[in-house]
Chain A
């Protein structure tokens, strides 16, 4: 019996070594994890409910939201060593469709990630109709070729359609996108502190709708109607966009 053990002991040790087994404790190598991104929408720190919740604009109007849909592109995480990990090329969000509120989890390398970044809208040269997934919803974001765009050659996409009602009988429509040859999409970079070591995490990105209407430019619904052909208005929204997004901590 003992001689049998002696005979098989070297083999047993070899198997343990090859299989990476640590007889004296757990494996300390960091492991891959999975990360998803979700989008939530607030107005004055209150979650937006379409057609129901009431919010306040800096210009003094109470407003409700009837439609909110937008496109973000180049969604990525930045590792502390500077490596950029792409999560998704483009994503369409519609407040009316919960299926669109989340970017499905993907597997990423272990480590510390320090920022989540994306572009609000689509960068100028890439904003060509047909370049994004051809779903019914995304197709509805068409920005026709007749709208002032500079070259007038093809359709593009809206970055966002944000519509609603204000006051007693006012309505508003904030549609942003390329206008007059200008690209009014903008990059967003949000600091995060995300440790990945075999864990599963969801990063919640909050869009603060009231921030589209202020900081730095106070947006008065009565001053703006249709703005797709108004590069000046698009520039104001682009500037206000800098405070619209935040990561939920």
Chain B
């Protein structure tokens, strides 16, 4: 090698500030495998999925570095074993407990709004919220960025995932959002039944029929392949809702007591139920819809006023059996 070439290479390395092993580090695009029964998945153009971004997001998701005292990670309140929800009615944060049950993180790529009250308009926006929540993580974003910048591993991971970009709260949220979009669950017994690869028991079929007809009438809110309509309803929990839900965000009195419809996929693993975790079991949930809904001014017309379905014990048990066919055990362990 001539002296000129050597000098040129040295200059190039100096000019590019280069670690020669990282010179060509372009993130590797990832195309998610979308279940055939699901609607179109829209991924933001400014946050395409990459192997490096997903890996970074996963690491961040399980790392308590985001909280002020390094005790609470995203996964603390969204445990994989509970289908990325919390077995506690209210989650333990750095300073007390939350006021609502943690929603499961399942198929969130298909959600146009997030949280029980819809205060986030994207997965990225959702990922930004818990850090500065005083109860949940209690940390300032500028402190999180400092901790990550001086971390032994994260700077290189960010450089791999987002080359030439400064580490910011938005970039951290983008990485977490990339990971969360990979949390796709679509391999339940019911999915395999629909694909002709499994059979349901007579009891499960009875429950399925109740779920999808107007008597049980679960399907109007939980009827798509996602088992949520991604909308907000007052489902008759309280005559005078103390938690305003959607109305606290929109300031519309007509939204009082409305909460986002949660997915029923993996519902077996996401107890307790409702926004405040008031029901411990699926049996309690079914009994509530059977006989316990309360009238209020904003109750959803789908529930009518003071609805009584009068399901028999056999029918209630069948509904629970059907709901358990929506379990996807593999989802709990593959992430």
Interface residues of A (CB under 8 A from B): 51-52, 66-67, 133-136, 138-140, 142, 144-147, 163-165, 169-173, 225-226, 228-229
**Among B4-12, B133-141, B221-229, which stretch is in contact with chain A?**
B221-229
A135 to B303, CA, bound (A): 25
Instruction: From known contacts A66-B301, A139-B225, infer whether A51 and B214 are also in contact, taking CB-CB under 8 Å.
Output: no
The 8 closest A-B pairs by CB, nearest first: A171-B301, A144-B212, A226-B214, A51-B254, A146-B212, A163-B301, A134-B39, A139-B224
**Which partner residue on chain B sits nearest A144 by CB separation?**
B212
Whether the pair A173, B302 counts as a contact (CB closer than 8 A) is yes
A132 to B197, CA, bound (A): 26
A139 surroundings in chain B (CB, below 8 A): 39, 224-226
Instruction: From known contacts A226-B214, A226-B217, infer whether A170 and B305 are also in contact, taking CB-CB under 8 Å.
Output: yes
Q: List 17 A-B contacts (CB under 8 A).
A: A52-B254, A66-B300, A133-B40, A136-B39, A136-B110, A139-B39, A140-B224, A140-B229, A140-B231, A146-B212, A164-B301, A165-B301, A171-B305, A225-B304, A226-B217, A228-B214, A229-B213
A51 to B252, CA, bound (A): 10
* Beyond A134-B38, A136-B112, A171-B300, 17 extra complex contacts between A and B, CB < 8 Å: A136-B226, A136-B230, A139-B226, A140-B230, A140-B231, A144-B212, A146-B208, A146-B213, A169-B305, A171-B301, A171-B303, A171-B305, A172-B301, A173-B301, A173-B302, A228-B214, A229-B213
What's the minimum C-beta distance from B208 to chain A, rounded to whole angstroms?
7
A145 to B254, CA, bound (A): 33
B217 surroundings in chain A (CB, below 8 A): 226
B122 surroundings in chain A (CB, below 8 A): none
Q: Which interface residue of B213, B214, B217, B252 has the most chain A CB atoms within 10 A?
A: B214
What's the minimum C-beta distance from B152 to chain A, rounded to whole angstroms?
41
A132 to B229, CA, bound (A): 17
**Which partner residue on chain B sits nearest A140 by CB separation?**
B229
Whether the pair B302, A163 counts as a contact (CB closer than 8 A) is yes
A52 surroundings in chain B (CB, below 8 A): 254
B303 surroundings in chain A (CB, below 8 A): 171
Whether the pair A144, B219 counts as a contact (CB closer than 8 A) is yes
**Which partner residue on chain A sits nearest B221 by CB separation?**
A140
What's the minimum C-beta distance from A163 to chain B, rounded to whole angstroms?
4
Whether the pair A135, B295 counts as a contact (CB closer than 8 A) is no
Select which of A142, A146, A169, A173 is within 8 A of B295 by beta carbon.
A169
What's the minimum C-beta distance from B295 to chain A, rounded to whole angstroms?
6
Whether the pair B219, A67 counts as a contact (CB closer than 8 A) is no
B212 surroundings in chain A (CB, below 8 A): 144-147
* Chain B 267-300 per-residue mask, 1 if CB under 8 angstroms from chain A, else 0: 0000000000000000000000000000100011
B82-140 with Cβ < 8 A to chain A: 110, 112
Select which of A67, A134, A136, A147 is within 8 A of B213 by beta carbon.
A147
A37 to B173, CA, bound (A): 40
**Which partner residue on chain B sits nearest A162 by CB separation?**
B301
**Which partner residue on chain B sits nearest A96 by CB separation?**
B231
B215 surroundings in chain A (CB, below 8 A): 226
Interface assignment of B209: CB less than 8 Å from any CB of chain A = yes
Whether the pair A146, B301 counts as a contact (CB closer than 8 A) is no
A138 to B305, CA, bound (A): 27
What's the minimum C-beta distance from A229 to chain B, rounded to whole angstroms?
6
* Chain B 13-40 per-residue mask, 1 if CB under 8 angstroms from chain A, else 0: 0000000000000000000000000111
Q: Which interface residue of A135, A165, A171 has the most chain B CB atoms within 10 A?
A: A171
A144 surroundings in chain B (CB, below 8 A): 212-213, 219, 223
Whether the pair A147, B230 counts as a contact (CB closer than 8 A) is no
